Every structure is written in structure tokens, then in C-alpha cells.
Structure 1
């Protein structure tokens, strides 16, 4: 592509053509992975019609060009010059002493008489000593001129509405690094937490002073139990190339709790169960004393387990009502309580429902729930409850030949 600079006035027989290579770093001997700016500047006392830099090959470095070449005109010693400037960001990949360059700029020059000549302008070479990267906590190495973090929740996680799902968005920006150099997202894992992470977004913005890398992470978080939980803070170390010191950015800790629940779910369930059992046991005590006279009674735990199965489960009608309305959140809440009461893991039995509730569809900005067959999930929950009941019966059934007394219940005392 032709570039036309300068006036059409006749030039000197031998034009002044100079190409200079310079390097700029935040330390005389930068570390591996630290940004180094290479500037190629050409000053040409000539009328240039075409130009191109020969392929830049930099062994032991990764690099990127910082925008397009900048052309300008000026005067020096009373003569008019055309100036071109190209900037590259270099990232050394290993330690050692390296020679960078020389570089070649191919020019087509018009001598003012309509005659074009080809010439190559060669730059100087520069040397650079690179130090090995220092040891860091966790082995992560992020050299940059500045790193900032924006960490926010879309609601107060310490006072969540019942069944609410919080969205956490973390954006990290590093000046002097590309997005590819930023760390991977941390794993937000806790026994009490359901967490789904959206695909991360990485972008690199080019400036004349170097690239600016950005990464954005977003999680949808929901407690799986009524008990409060604390998500610990997460530190990401980085090296400040200007102050030459290690620093940290911190993803803040967060407390998760439901505002309307003041007691742990397990404790509330035991209290409510006791409220059901106590009047029943008092009412049955007199006839049972007579019926059990002279026999060895079952252990209290076994008797209580069998009595619980005879009582109506207060979560069952709530589950049926939620299933009829298609209310996924209400169904999950009641089903989780019922499963936990029978010693089953809600997270395992309700995993398909959790995925539908808390994982956004790809490209769905509104975050609506994915389609789910609530009837199939309910059948699976009921099957798990039946299997658990069968296991409990097997555990409490006396061995063959034993002399354990039978369990007395309304259905067996005839």
C-alpha cells in the first residue's frame, strides 16, 4: 500500500535515513514474564511512496504490536523529515542475556524526478539481561504495573431471602499484562454451598504504554442448608514492576445466611419431631405398659424410628402442592427437609433440580431456569425415601433365632 509523505521538492542526492531501536523496562534487568517495551523509530529525509517492516522474529520472547504505526512530519536542522514509530510489548520467556535486533525497514523512495528506488534501512541491535522469576506463594507469577479487583454481590448474602440465589461478579484488571496472563478463577467450594460459574470473559486492550488485560468471573451461589456459612477470602499475589515488591489482591470473604431462619434446620426438625412424638407417647404409654409386660422392649432409637414412619410427614403435602403449582423452589425446600430428616443427602437426590434452578442457560442474560421434569424428580425422591425405609427396617429386624420382642404399633396390636 502506497504511503505519500513530504513535499515534491527535490531531495539531496543522498537522503538521511535513520532507524533506531530502544527498549524500556521498569528495571535494568527485568524478570521473566515482565513487560519490556521495544520502540522502533525511523527519521527519513525522503519522499516515501511505499514501506514495510520485515518480519519481526524474536526468539525467547512472546510479543504483540501496540497498535498501528504512527506517521508524522517535522523539521530538523531546517529540513523536513518524515517520522514513523512502531511499538512492541515483549515478554521474555526465560532468563539470560539476549540480543534483540537489528530490524529492517524496506522503503521505496521517490527522488523528486519521478524515479523510484528501493532501499533497506537497518536499525541498531539492543541487549537485554533477564532474571529468573522469583519463587512465590502457590507458584503463581503475575508481574504488572498495576492490578485492581472489583468484587461485588448483587444482594446482601448475610440476609438472604428464603431460597434466594446471589450473583457474585469479580473483575480483575492488570496494566502491563495481557488477559491470558491473568490467573484462572478460584474454586468456590463448601459443603453447604451450591455454586455454578459462568464462562469467563477475557479481553486485552492495547495502548501505547502496553496492554491492559481484564478477566471477568461470575458465580451464582446459594446455600444448600439453613445453617449460616462463611466463604473464606481468596488472595491472588502479583508483582508490582514499578515498586519491585510483591503485593496481593483479595477476593473478600462473605457470610451466607437466610434472614428468616434463626435456628439450624436439623435442630428445628428435631424439635418439631419431639413436639409430635411427646403427646403420642404419653397417650400410648398406659396401654403399651400393659401390652409389653414381661417382654423385652426395643431400643428407644429403633422404636422412635418406627414411630416416625407411622406419623404423617408434614413435608409430604407441601411437596405435592408445590409439584402441582410447578414451583421448583418451594418443592426443593420441602423435599430437602424431608430427605435430611430421613438421613439422606439433599444435594445428591436433588442434583437435577439444583442444576435447573441455579445454572444459567448459555447466552440467557435473564438467567431463567432450564426445563425440568418435576414429576420425574419427585418419583426419584420418593424411591430414595422408600429405599431408606427398607434399609432402616433391615437394620432393626432381629436376627433368625433371636428372642427379641415384637414391636407394638397400632397395626400390630390386635
Structure 2
């Protein structure tokens, strides 16, 4: 008799954990936790919630059905997390889902019950469906401060200003790419302010389509935005790109802040690029023998033409007025044959710097810039530009 009693006591825990069609209280639990903060959240401010479940039954299949979340925008922060843990010495299954919700308005809002649809097994190892519903919870939401052009509540914000090369040391005719990178924790990509308009008194500015994406983390969505412009001075000196700024609300410090990207000088360097300078040097002046004789004959011929045309031409500078002897003209033709618009533009700008101002050439350069930088135009006819540019003085 005593042996039977001992055997019954040993088997008693197994009978409690046996799979039955009856589901007892405490076997399946589901609830929602709101991350505690020392403040009342504002409208459109991120609120972190966690849906948790503890299950003491074998689960064959499961599906969590969330409520309508009326009055909230939301995003799920990663995949569901299932684990086997021990609770007070008992082996249980735990379920966790992390979410960020954003109240659309102020007032008392309710997060309805989440329904976990579980497939369990009974005594005959047959499957049956059972639903577990979390209790609803309420959330007090304060209104956002009035007078906001763009309400941007963010947990952390980082702004970087990057340039493809030194903006104040550009080669003649060169443009520069500016990229402003916005990194914001606690917002979705569409909550970042729209790309601002970049202005300058005299620069040519071409805006590129902005790019946005998001990375999910347990602390909330980490959103990124990239604002991009191509900038080129429209004169031969320099220009200033005006500063830009936008406001945001620091949800940690509970203060309104302003992010400002400072003004920047954009200018061509004082010297012609080294590659162009090297090609414009009259290397023939150092050649011995018959090349020197040819050069002298060419100079004499240039002098005769200068007398006929009434122009003052001297030495190698005179030779550079003729396309066959002009290294910059050869460079322009070579770049045009290779369909390198940047090379054509650089050589043309260097020629304009060497020969002095020319209204006709400046107009041709302006049209080339439009064709190169503007996304609405097609590829420029580079060889046509070169022929027209070399004819104009």
C-alpha cells in the first residue's frame, strides 16, 4: 500500500503536465507591457510596447493577431522571439514581440487586446485551436507643442555634412557633390523632415532625389535620410551656399532643438589643375636641332600673320592661338572622342582662363553645363561643342 502511494506521488506531476483538451488557468498567459518613462508621451512620439506570453503547454502552431490599433501608427521591431526558459524551476515557453507605436492624437487612447491563436494537442494527440487574449491597456497622450512647421520628435539625432572633394579648391569647370546624412532613432523614415531647398546667390545647384531607409532595433526604428546636391560656381571666383536648418524635439531631454548646417564657400582654386598646366607648357622650347628650326619657322609664320591681321602675337603664345599647336585644343578633342564631358569642360575652362574673357565662349560653356548637370537634358554633342568653341574667340 505504501509503495502504491509513493508511485502515485511520483506520477502526479506528470498528470498535471499531460496534454488534455481542457486548458487550465495559468497554463497560457498573454499581456502587453508599456515601457515606463518619467513623462507623458506627446502625440506622434514613439512609445515602446512589448507583447509577452508564458506557455506551459506544447504548442504545434501559433499566430498572433493584433488589434486595429485605432489612433496609433505602429511598426514591429524585428521578429518574434520564442525561448524555452525555467520559471521557478519549471520549464516553460516564452514569447516576446517588440513594437513601437505612435499616438496620432492627444487624449486617452486604448491599445486593444492581442489574440494569440494557438494549436494545442489533447489526450489522443489530436490538434485543437485555442485563443489567448491580452487585456487592453490605456495610454495618456499629451498634445504636441503648437506652431510646429514639421513636428519631429526624436530620441537621438545625428547630422553629417559630406563633400565629394574640397568645395573651395575646385578645378575650373568642376562641380562638387554635397551629401547631408540624417540619422534619427525613434522615428520612421517618413517622419524625417522633407529635403530642404539649397540656395546660393550665384551657384548652379542641382538637387538629386533623396534616399531614405530604416533599420529596426529593440530601442526603436533607426531611420536614415540622404539629401544630395551637385553644386558648381557660375562665375570664375567663388560663391556661398546658404545654411539650412530644421527643428526637432529631443524626447530624452524634453526640449525643442534646432539642427543647423552651416554655410559653405564653394570656389575654384587659384591655379589651373596640374594635369592641364603640364600640357600647356611649350615643351618644344627645349628641343634641340631640327625641331628648334621648325619652331622658329612657325614663330616667323605667326609673326607674318600677326602683321597682316594687325594683331600683336609673340613666341609660343602666338602658336597657342592655332588649334594644331594648342595642347588644350588637342586635349578637348581627345576628351570629346572618348565622350568625357568633364575633360572637355575642364580644358575649355582652362583655355578661357588663358585667353581671357569671351562672351561667346562663356555662352557655349553655359550651354554645356546645362547639358551635363541638368537631369532633364540628354547627353551633349561634345565634338560639336569643341568645333564651335575653337571657332569662337
The reply to whether TM is greater than 0.5 is yes
3-state SS of the aligned residue for 1:159? coil
* Aligned-residue offset at 1:333: 6.6
* Matched residue, 1:357: 372
2:3 corresponding residue in structure 1:
none
- 1:330 to 2:347 alignment: yes
How far off is 1:170 after superposition? 1.6
Contact 2:82–2:93 (8 Å) recurs in 1: yes
1:133 to 144, 154, 172: 144
Post-superposition offset of 1:76: 2.5
For the Cα contact (< 8 Å) 2:333–2:383, is it kept in 1? no
Aligned to 1:373: 381
Partner of 1:255: 265
Aligned length: 321
Deviation string for 1:318-350 (max 9, x for gaps)? Answer: 8994765532333367679999865x996x865
- 8 Å contact kept, 2:201–2:240: no
Instruction: Select 1:68's aligned residue among 79, 95, 107.
Output: 79
CA distance in 2, matches of 1:31, 1:345: 59
Contact 2:173 2:345 in 1 (8 A): no
Q: 1:390-405 maps to which residues of 2 (within 5 A)?
A: none
Structure 2 residue corresponding to 1:227, chosen from 234, 237, 247: 237
CA spacing shift, 1:233–1:27, aligned 2, 3 Å: farther
Deviations 1:288-339 (A, max 9, x none): xxxxxxxxxxxxxxxxxxxxxx999x99978994765532333367679999
Secondary structure at 2:40 match in 1: coil
Alignment of 1:205-216 (within 5 A): 205-216=215-226
Helix, strand or coil at the partner of 1:47: coil
8 A Cα contact 1:144 1:174, kept in partner: yes
Other structure's SS at 2:168 match: helix
Go from structure 1 to structure 2 and tell me whether the alpha carbon gap of 1:160 and 1:136 turns closer, same or farther (over 3 Å shift).
farther
Contact 2:203 2:240 (C-alpha < 8 Å) held by counterparts: no
1:305 maps to none
Q: Cα 1:77–1:324, aligned 2, differ >3 Å: closer, same or farther? A: closer
5 Å-filtered alignment, 1:49-88, equals 49-88=60-99
How far, CA to CA, are the matches of 1:336 and 1:94 in structure 2? Answer: 61
2:109 equivalent in structure 1: 98
Could you list the per-position Cα deviations for residues 201-241 of structure 1 after superposition, in whole angstroms to 9, with x for gaps in the alignment?
A: 21100112211000112222211112322222222221111
Q: Give the unaligned 5+ runs of structure 2.
A: 1-13, 273-309, 313-317, 337-343
Distance in 1 between the 2:332 and 2:201 partners?
A: 27
* SS class of match (1:184): coil
Matched, 1:29 2:37: no
CA contact (8 A) 1:51 1:108 kept: yes
TM-score, with structure 1 as normaliser? 0.66
Q: Is the 8 A contact 1:47 1:111 kept in 2?
A: no
Shift of 1:54: 2.0
Residues 34 and 143 of structure 1 are in contact (CA less than 8 Å); yes or no, is this contact kept in structure 2?
yes
Return the alpha-carbon distance in structure 2 between the equivalents of residues 55 and 317 of structure 1.
79
Tell me if structure 2 keeps the 8 A contact 1:162–1:260: no
Cα distance change, pair 141–317 in 1 and its aligned pair in 2 (3 A)? farther
SS in structure 1 opposite 2:346?
helix
Give 5+ residue unaligned stretches, structure 1.
1-6, 263-309, 362-368, 386-414
Distance 2:185 2:162 in 1: 21
Compute the displacement of 1:70 (Å).
0.5
| Deviation (angstroms), 1:159 | 2.6
Q: TM-score, with normalisation over the residues of structure 2?
A: 0.69
142 and 21 in structure 1: CA distance in 2 versus 1, 3 angstrom threshold: same
Name the residue aligned to 2:304: none
